[in-house]
């Protein structure tokens, strides 16, 4: 990763575990200084201690991205440093249900993280990068953002916002020297997925996802992680004809079926 263009500091939200932690490890190995943001203090400080033990300079912010004051909280740790890379890695969904039945705080929280906070962070740090004429922004997304799925209405809609927003931001920032990438993630072996009871042995390792994001930051606006089946699925669910049939046929499956699909795709890839 080019420290001169994207450094010296990288800000990573969702930076305590999973893909966020792997972004942190790989960036630290390249000499970046880090600001890590996450809600849970213990895993956040554990990762910070690990990276400091390897010589990295690390600041931490325990903050909830659903809260309206989250950017102000993070700015307390970044206003005095030069953030050249923003990795907005947050927004996993842990509650499924009919939109009209779910509590408003659940769906509002999904929208706050994936839409409002993502836009606020991109505006603030993107403006600083514009003024310097360099930098990079990675916004992580999901294949769910290509198609609405029942029991995931707010989540899929918010992820669709993230992708379209990134495409626009990419074109705006490109002539200003700032790279913008929507990193489209499929089934990944994150602790969050494991806590939901997902059999993650067939999922993409977090370190692979982070590596693809960093290696392709200049290849925006969208990069689909190369997990077998991801690109084909994106093509299938992006068709514009007969959206009713597309939504019925390709809506996100129940969690227990996700690992089965991932296993089938890996077997097909091995046989190719």
Give pLDDT tens digits along the chain (272 positions).
999 999 999 999 998 889 999 999 999 999 999 999 999 999 999 999 999 999 999 999 999 999 999 999 999 999 999 999 999 998 777 789 999 999 999 999 999 999 999 999 999 999 999 999 999 999 999 999 999 999 999 999 999 999 999 999 999 999 999 999 999 998 876 666 666 666 667 678 899 999 999 999 999 999 999 988 889 989 988 888 999 998 888 887 775 566 555 555 556 656 65
Give the helix ranges, DSSP H, for 79-218.
Answer: 104-111, 118-132, 153-173, 191-195, 206-215
The candidate with the shortest Cα–Cα distance to 192, out of 17, 3, 12, is 17
d(CA 152, CA 74): 29
pTM: 0.90
Residues recognised as catalytic: 155, 159
**Three-class SS state of 86:** strand
Q: Which residues contact 195 (CB under 8 A, 6 or more apart)?
A: 94
Domains of the chain and CATH, by start: 3-271 (3.40.50.720)
């Amino acid at each position: 990763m080019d420290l001169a263009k994207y450094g010296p500091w990288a800000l990573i939200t969702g930076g305590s575990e999973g893909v966020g932690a792997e972004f942190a490890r790989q960036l630290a190995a390249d000499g970046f200084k880090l600001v890590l943001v996450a809600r849970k203090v213990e895993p956040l400080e554990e990762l910070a201690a690990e990276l400091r033990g390897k010589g990295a300079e690390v600041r931490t912010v325990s903050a909830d991205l659903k809260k309206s004051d989250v950017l102000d909280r993070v700015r307390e740790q970044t206003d005095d440093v030069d953030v050249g890379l923003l990795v907005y890695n947050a927004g996993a969904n842990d509650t499924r249900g009919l939109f009209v039945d779910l509590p408003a705080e659940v769906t509002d929280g999904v929208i706050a993280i994936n839409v409002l906070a993502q836009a606020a962070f991109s505006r603030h740090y993107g403006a600083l990068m514009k003024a310097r004429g360099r930098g990079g922004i990675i916004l992580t997304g999901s294949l769910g953002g290509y198609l609405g799925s029942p029991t995931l209405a707010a989540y899929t809609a918010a992820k669709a916002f993230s992708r379209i927003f990134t495409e626009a931001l990419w074109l705006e920032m490109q002539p200003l020297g700032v790279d913008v990438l929507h990193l489209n993630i499929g089934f990944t072996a994150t602790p969050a997925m494991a806590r939901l009871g997902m059999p993650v042995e067939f999922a993409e390792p977090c370190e692979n996802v982070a590596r693809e994001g960093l290696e392709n930051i200049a290849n925006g606006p969208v990069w689909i992680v190369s997990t077998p089946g991801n690109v084909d699925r994106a093509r299938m669910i992006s068709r514009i004809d007969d959206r009713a049939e597309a939504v019925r046929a390709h809506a996100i499956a129940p969690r227990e079926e996700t690992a089965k699909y991932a296993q089938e795709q890996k077997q097909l890839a091995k046989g190719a």
